[in-house]
């Protein structure tokens, strides 16, 4: 269902583009290029949404509670928000500069050897902040979630020259460090994270 909804969005966008802003008419009848961009499971400091793994783990550390983890073996393409944004900005820049061939669908995601399951991400988070406490939810109830989600970023790498800078382990480390600084030191380290990212 998750993958189908993403694919449907891309099909609808393509249909809209072909109907009203066809690339064959670019520069003649219109000057608009349209693309869609898909990311993996985005992580990073400042996310306090409910029922998301890392915010839930952080809340366990802050509030001294044990968070229950469901589907610990589910595998996801975890990636830092700065990797996603760098891809989106790069794509947007090429469209702004009239790269007609880049009007289409794109994936910005970790490499295929950089995907991990929920329990591994939980352990990596706990390694970075010892106060994080979680337990695997033992229940006979089956949660309707795909066990494996992956994205292929080869098109973005080959045609845009984009690639993820931070691997998954480092992305988790930087994310947990952000929250620790926020809650313990009362500092927001977004600017220094951006500096670190672009200094690589």
Residue 61 covered by a domain: yes
DSSP output for 148-167: B-----HHIIIII----SS-
Residue 13 covered by a domain: no
pLDDT of residue 138 exceeding 80, the answer is no
Q: 190 with 45: CB under 8 angstroms? A: yes
Check which CATH number belongs to the domain holding 67 and give it.
Answer: 3.90.25.10
First to last CA, the chain: 37
Residue 15 covered by a domain: no
Q: 162 with 86: CB under 8 angstroms? A: yes
Q: Count structural domains, the chain.
A: 1
Range 124-128 average pLDDT: 97
> To the nearest whole percent, how much of the chain has pLDDT over 70?
94
Q: Please, which pLDDT band fits residue 31 given cuts at 50, 70 and 90?
A: very high
Phi, psi of 145 (to 5 degrees): -140, 145
Instruction: Label residue 139 exposed, middle or buried (CB < 10 Å: 0-12, 13-18, 19+).
Output: exposed
Residue 104 covered by a domain: yes
CA 32 – CA 9 distance, rounded (Å) = 19
Q: 35 with 14: CB under 8 angstroms? A: no
Q: Please, which pLDDT band fits residue 139 given cuts at 50, 70 and 90?
A: low
26 beta partners: 30
Which domain does 164 fall in, by range?
40-199
Global pTM reads: 0.90
The pLDDT, as a whole number, for residue 140 is 56
pLDDT of residue 123 exceeding 60, the answer is yes
Q: Please, which pLDDT band fits residue 144 given cuts at 50, 70 and 90?
A: low
Residue 29 covered by a domain: no
Residue 25 covered by a domain: no
Residue 66 covered by a domain: yes
The pLDDT, as a whole number, for residue 149 is 82
Q: Which DSSP category does 98 fall into?
A: T
Range 88-97 average pLDDT: 98
Q: Please, which pLDDT band fits residue 26 given cuts at 50, 70 and 90?
A: very high
Range 194-200 average pLDDT: 93
Residue 4 covered by a domain: no
pLDDT of residue 36 exceeding 80, the answer is yes
Lowest mean pLDDT among 59-73, 127-141, 186-200: 127-141
């Amino acid at each position: 269902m998750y993958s189908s909804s993403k694919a449907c969005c891309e099909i609808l966008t393509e249909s809209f583009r072909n109907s009203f802003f066809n690339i064959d008419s670019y520069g003649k009848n219109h000057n608009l290029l349209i693309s869609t961009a898909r990311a993996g499971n985005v992580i990073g400091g400042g996310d306090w949404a409910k029922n998301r793994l890392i915010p839930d783990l952080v809340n366990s550390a802050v509030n001294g509670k044990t968070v229950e983890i469901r589907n610990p073996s589910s595998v996801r393409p975890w990636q830092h928000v700065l990797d996603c944004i760098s891809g989106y900005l790069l794509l947007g820049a090429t469209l702004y500069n009239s790269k007609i061939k880049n009007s289409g669908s794109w994936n910005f995601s970790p490499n295929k050897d950089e995907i991990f399951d929920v329990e591994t991400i939980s352990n990596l988070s706990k390694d970075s902040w010892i106060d994080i406490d979680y337990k695997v939810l033992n229940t006979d109830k089956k949660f309707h979630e795909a066990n494996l989600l992956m994205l292929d970023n080869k098109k973005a790498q080959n045609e845009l020259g984009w690639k993820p800078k931070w691997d998954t382990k480092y992305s988790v480390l930087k994310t947990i460090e952000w929250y620790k600084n926020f809650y313990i030191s009362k500092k927001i380290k977004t600017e220094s994270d951006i500096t670190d990212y672009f200094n690589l």
